[in-house]
Amino acid sequence: MTDAISSFGAVGRPVSIHTDDAAKARLKGRYRAETWFKWLGAAAVALAGLFLLLLLSTIVTQAIPALRQNYLTLPIDLSAAKVDPAKLDAVNYDAIAQEALTAKFPDVTSRQDKRLLRGLISTGTGVFLRKDIAADPGMLGKTVDYAVPLDDFADLYLKGLLADVGSDEAISTSVTPSQTSGDIDLTFGDAAMLALARGHGATEGENGMLTLTSGASSLLVAFNSGTVKLTALSPGANGTAVAKGTVIEALDSTAPAASGQAFLRVIDTPEASRKISDKVIVWLDTLKSAGLIESRFNSIFFFTGASREPELAGVWGAVVGSFLTMIVTLAIAFPIGVSAAIYLEEFAPKNRLTTIIEVNINNLAAVPSIVFGLLGLAVFLNFFGLPRSAPVVGGMVLALMTLPIIIIASRASLRAVPPSIREAALGIGASKVQTVFHHVLPLAMPGIMTGTILGMAHALGETAPLLMIGMVAFIVDIPGGFTDPATILPVQIFMWADFPEAGFQQKTSAAILILLVFLVIMNAIAVILRRRFERRW
Amino acid sequence: MVGYLVVLLLVLAAAAYWIGRTRAIASVNGDVARLHSLPGQHGMFLALFAAGPALLAIVLWSMVTPGIESSIIADRFSAELSGMGVPQVEAFIRDAHAMAFGGLVGFADPTKEAAAAVYKSIHATSAWIIWAIALMLSASGFYWAYSRIAQAYRARHVVERVLRAFLITCSAVAILTTIGIVLSLIFESLRFFQQVPLYKFLFGTHWSPQSAFTGAGAEAGAVNQDIFGMVPLFAGTLLITFIAMLVAAPIGLMAAIYLSDYASKSVRAVAKPVLEILAGIPTVVYGFFAALTVAPYFRSMGESLGLNVASESALAAGVVMGIMIIPFVSSLSDDVINAVPQSLRDGSAGLGATKSETIRKVILPAALPGIVSAMLLAVSRAIGETMIVVMAAGLAANLTANPLEAVTTVTVQIVTLLVGDQEFDSAKTLAAFALGLVLFCITLTLNIVALRVVQKYREQYD
């Protein structure tokens, strides 16, 4: 009896190999494996999404600063003494703008500092000024407030990309300077400044002496309408602290500043590891607090050609080059691709030759793009002697590359048109050509267009073959025709990514953003076409 | 000037269409049903003959004349050019051409100005000749075709035959492209192999073509044959491809499995576009990402682990390339997995298998040939990929299997050798074509093998 009971489970069924404990454990293990597998799959998808997110967020966060540019408004003296209205082209406009800037800082006297100061504004200032005067001669003969673009380092600093700068904090003790300019001593009312300097990487010396080298954060003290940079600190008598400092902006008196009257600014990034000196930072902050600096939409970037100077470099030349190249590509690849697809799908007899063509097209689609560049170099440039760097050659190379994509997409689209359409047309007496061109092709057109747009989007992002045919040349002018030397957007991105100047990194990202926007628009058009016009039979 | 001629011919064609149509209708006194072909087809017929031959002649002319013109110039100025080498003569002709028709002139001198003047006059003469030929062809074509238009004339057949010939020509472009690729690669490579023996190129382990000649400057001697060994490039390419496949194969395959068998409709609606966007991002963007974000990240991570990671490590380039290939692998695998018939899944489920068991033990074995083929295609794609490695991998050939070091690849070297100034007879630039030929052969072989794998081992279920 007991044996009988033990051989029945709780629900009264006999225990077997499929229901005993080992089986339950096995089942549990199998379900666990199932869950694991499922999560592994989900993780793979999530990882792919994460990569995309990482890529796009990196690009976008870097690109945003490049969309704006800082301008400095200066009173430019365009009186007849400076600018001879009869000889507008002979005037050194850069010098006039630089004079206006140096006039803002009468304390700056040394040659080196003056050069540093002049470097604050872009080297393209003169060009802009001349162009604006030519457009509006009314500016001449007086002093006008004119906004000039800042140099890339100044611009990047103001965007907060070159140095970590803390906000001004009031010093809660008195500060007494020994002189108003040069290397001076400062006496602080308490020793709090010593602890602060230690916290910012000051080097310990003998007798509690602290030295602030260029490897430490910069401590700037602003009071009496001037700024002093601290170089060394030591404990003084009666719990005070004595600091040595260099005056960057002259103080107006040696009167002690009361508690709360002096302000401390800490630049966390050590001077040695940033590309902008303390002096320039102080000048820029002065100009900024005077309300002379203004951040504007970066029209230079969008509407000018390339340049070696980051603040003057623009994408317009590359955009125009891309546009011209795409026109050539489309004009060649679309008619040829669609014609080839029509022939292969509708007319071609099934024989050896057409099989070869088909295999050929599939193989062409898998040939590395750089090989097409080699073809263009050997055939178009060296054999036919076409011009280097020209959109017409680039367009031809890209057309050969896009051709297989368009042919494959068009064939798929033609195949999707049901035979009944053809039979109906043939039945009422249309010729084969009329059937195809009047009935099949219009029905297949949305699919063909979608494939073409996707192929063009692919061609727009292609870089490698165009490097081979010399579109990597440095071209400043906006190309005006199909045979002018030009560069294209992806190649411009490639070139800018190689430039060492910090400003180009943002420009590169912004150019990528523009390229991606074009691609998104093209893909969106393709999706809309597919949604609206494609018929399922 | 010839541009106007083309426009004129197009206008003539439009006029001819209208005239042909009118004449066809007039020939039957407006009773269109009596015509063999439609009036429009008669119009097309006339337009084709009025403009077609002339346009063909212009195309031919524009392909042939530049060569003839420059050879005439070289002939007329043979006395001045006699002492020059081939590159100087080419530069002379290029400058003369630029001075005559606009363009970048190297430097001007009186001889070149004289040549430019001759150039101009020759070109003007040849333009007049083509005008005359084109107009004559146009007139005679028009006259002949016009006289044929009649009630019973089979204009449709002619038009359709011409159209079909055009379609066939377009299909042949694909073959011509392949022939062009193969011929140009082989031709230039042969010139390279005349200077460097094939076995030294294929099996040499030292690559530094920047010092292609023994000696420098005026003392440049023979080509140093021992510095064109492509083994390090090939090893570098394989290393980066291997890393890329380590990333792309598992992620792409698992993503495909998840999306085809597990994901709900809403997940799929999000995940599929994500993969498509990943596939649509230009490779230069991936290159920028690799060089400016991933490589420094790996470098600093390696430093914190006490490893010495090169700033252009194979790892960074490989991982980013893997990310680029994920959508490629997943979309190909997706197709293959979906092609396995539902009956197999149902059968497996009926035997009590869980979903993952079905996938691992039934679907994947059934889809194996397709998946292998997808992986081979992905490898071929990775080998031929250029921009990521150009921007993120090294330039110096380095024979190593350490993924933390910088290696270079075949495509990087092609770009380095051909970007910038180049003369077209040095072993250095020709080496790029030899590398291109190797690249073409490898990718072609991989594609063919991938195709054969599917054809040979595919199970026929239906």
Chain A contact probe: residue of B167, B385, B414 with most A CBs at under 10 A: B167
pLDDT tens digits, one per residue of A401-420: 999 999 999 999 999 899 99
| Subunit contact B252:A44, Cβ cutoff 8 A | yes
Domain B225-457: give its CATH code: 1.10.3720.10
CATH superfamily of A312-533: MetI-like (1.10.3720.10)
pLDDT tens digits, one per residue of A348-374: 888 888 888 888 888 888 899 999 999
CB A365 within 8 A of CB A404: yes
Angle, CA A360 vertex, CA A358 and CA A365 arms, to 5°: 100
**Residue B123 φ/ψ, nearest 5 degrees:** -65, -40
Chain B contact probe: residue of A39, A45, A520 with most B CBs at under 10 A: A45
Kindly state the tokens that stand for A170: 């009031």
- Residues with Cβ < 8 Å from B235, sequence gap 6 or more? B399, B400, B401, B407
Residue-range domain boundaries for chain B: 2-153, 225-457
| Subunit contact B289:A367, Cβ cutoff 8 A | no
Buried b or exposed e, range A489-499, using 16+ CB within 10 angstroms:
bbbbbbbbbee
A368 touches chain B (CB under 8 A): yes
Which pLDDT does position B244 carry in this prediction? 94
Higher per-residue pLDDT: B179 or A472: B179
CA dist., res. A23 & res. A19, Å (int): 6
Kindly state the tokens that stand for A367: 């040939």
User: Of the candidates A34, A378, A508, which has its C-beta nearest B188's C-beta?
Assistant: A378
Span of A19-33, A38-52, A276-290, B433-447 with lowest mean pLDDT = A276-290
| Side-chain-side CA neighbours of residue A351 (13 Å) | 4
Q: Is the pLDDT of residue A156 over 80?
A: yes
Q: What mean pLDDT is reported for chain A?
A: 85
Instruction: Kindly state the average pLDDT of the residues B295-307.
Output: 89
**B48, containing H or E segment:** helix B39-76
Strand pairing class (A263-267; A203-204):
unpaired
Chain B neighbors of A479, CB-CB under 8 A: none
Higher per-residue pLDDT: B91 or A59: A59
Chain B neighbors of A433, CB-CB under 8 A: 160, 163-164
A379 touches chain B (CB under 8 A): yes
**Residue A221 φ/ψ, nearest 5 degrees:** -110, 125
| Subunit contact A41:B258, Cβ cutoff 8 A | yes
Please report which residue ranges of B351-425 form alpha helices under DSSP H: 355-358, 364-384, 387-392, 410-418
Residue-range domain boundaries for chain A: 169-274, 312-533
A41 touches chain B (CB under 8 A): yes
Instruction: Kindly state the average pLDDT of the residues B118-131.
Output: 82
Q: How many CB pairs under 8 A join A and B?
A: 251
Bridge partners, residue A227, by sequence: A222, A249
| Side-chain-side CA neighbours of residue B141 (13 Å) | 24
pLDDT tens digits, one per residue of A177-222: 888 878 888 888 887 788 888 888 788 877 778 888 877 888 888 8
Which pLDDT does position B323 carry in this prediction? 94
Higher per-residue pLDDT: A118 or B78: A118
Kindly state the tokens that stand for A464: 């490698």
Confidence of residue B218 (pLDDT cuts 50, 70, 90): very low
Instruction: Kindly state the average pLDDT of the residues B4-23.
Output: 86
The residue with tokens 């267009």 is: A449
Give the CA distances from residue B254 to residues A41, A49, A403, B344, in Å, rounded to whole numbers and listed in that order.
Answer: 5, 13, 32, 20
Buried b or exposed e, range B298-330, using 16+ CB within 10 angstroms:
bbeebeeeeeebbebbbbbbbbbbbbbbbbbbb
**A228, containing H or E segment:** strand A226-235
CB A246 within 8 A of CB A253: no
Instruction: Kindly state the average pLDDT of the residues A219-238.
Output: 82
CB B436 within 8 A of CB B418: no
Q: Is the pLDDT of residue A273 over 60?
A: yes
A335 touches chain B (CB under 8 A): yes
**A75, containing H or E segment:** strand A68-77
Q: Is the pLDDT of residue A10 over 60?
A: no
**Residue A212 φ/ψ, nearest 5 degrees:** -100, 100
pLDDT tens digits, one per residue of A437-451: 999 999 999 889 989
Among chain B residues, CA nearest to A454: B280
Which pLDDT does position B150 carry in this prediction? 76
Angle, CA B429 vertex, CA B426 and CA B434 arms, to 5°: 110
Instruction: Kindly state the average pLDDT of the residues B287-300.
Output: 90
Helix (H, G, I), strand (E, B) or coil at A286: helix
Burial of B238 (0-12, 13-18, 19+ CB in 10 A): middle
Phi-psi region at A376: left, alpha or beta (left = phi > 0; alpha = psi -120 to 50):
alpha
Which pLDDT does position A1 carry in this prediction? 43
Confidence of residue B246 (pLDDT cuts 50, 70, 90): very high
Bridge partners, residue A70, by sequence: A295
Q: Is the pLDDT of residue B115 over 80?
A: no
- Chain B, window 16-55: residues with a beta carbon less than 8 angstroms from a chain A beta carbon: none
Higher per-residue pLDDT: A431 or A470: A431
| Subunit contact A41:B255, Cβ cutoff 8 A | yes
Distance from CA of B131 to the nearest CA of A (A): 23
pTM of the model: 0.86
pLDDT tens digits, one per residue of B361-389: 999 998 999 999 999 999 999 999 999 99
Helix (H, G, I), strand (E, B) or coil at A49: helix
The residue with tokens 């209208």 is: B18
Chain B neighbors of A396, CB-CB under 8 A: none
Distance from CA of B181 to the nearest CA of A (A): 5
Give the CA distances from residue A117 to residues A102, A124, A273, in Å, rounded to whole numbers and listed in that order.
Answer: 7, 16, 20
Percent of chain B's residues with pLDDT above 70 = 90
Distance from CA of B224 to the nearest CA of A (A): 24
Phi-psi region at A190: left, alpha or beta (left = phi > 0; alpha = psi -120 to 50):
beta
Pick the closest to residue B452 from B382, B384, B369 (CA basis).
Answer: B369
Which pLDDT does position A2 carry in this prediction? 46
Which pLDDT does position B222 carry in this prediction? 62
Higher per-residue pLDDT: B162 or A384: B162
Q: Is the pLDDT of residue B427 over 70?
A: yes
Buried b or exposed e, range A84-118, using 16+ CB within 10 angstroms:
eeeeeeebebbebbbebbbebbeebeeeebeeebb
Bridge partners, residue A183, by sequence: A246
Residue B432 CA from chain centroid, whole number: 16
- Chain B, window 244-283: residues with a beta carbon less than 8 angstroms from a chain A beta carbon: 250-255, 257-259, 261-263, 267, 271, 274-275, 277-278, 280-283
Distance from CA of B54 to the nearest CA of A (A): 21
Chain B contact probe: residue of A357, A363, A371 with most B CBs at under 10 A: A371
Burial of A329 (0-12, 13-18, 19+ CB in 10 A): buried
pLDDT tens digits, one per residue of B25-59: 888 877 777 778 888 888 888 888 888 888 888 88
Higher per-residue pLDDT: A1 or B57: B57
A52 touches chain B (CB under 8 A): yes
Instruction: Kindly state the average pLDDT of the residues A320-334.
Output: 93
B122 touches chain A (CB under 8 A): no
| Subunit contact B171:A344, Cβ cutoff 8 A | yes
**Residue B63 φ/ψ, nearest 5 degrees:** -80, -35
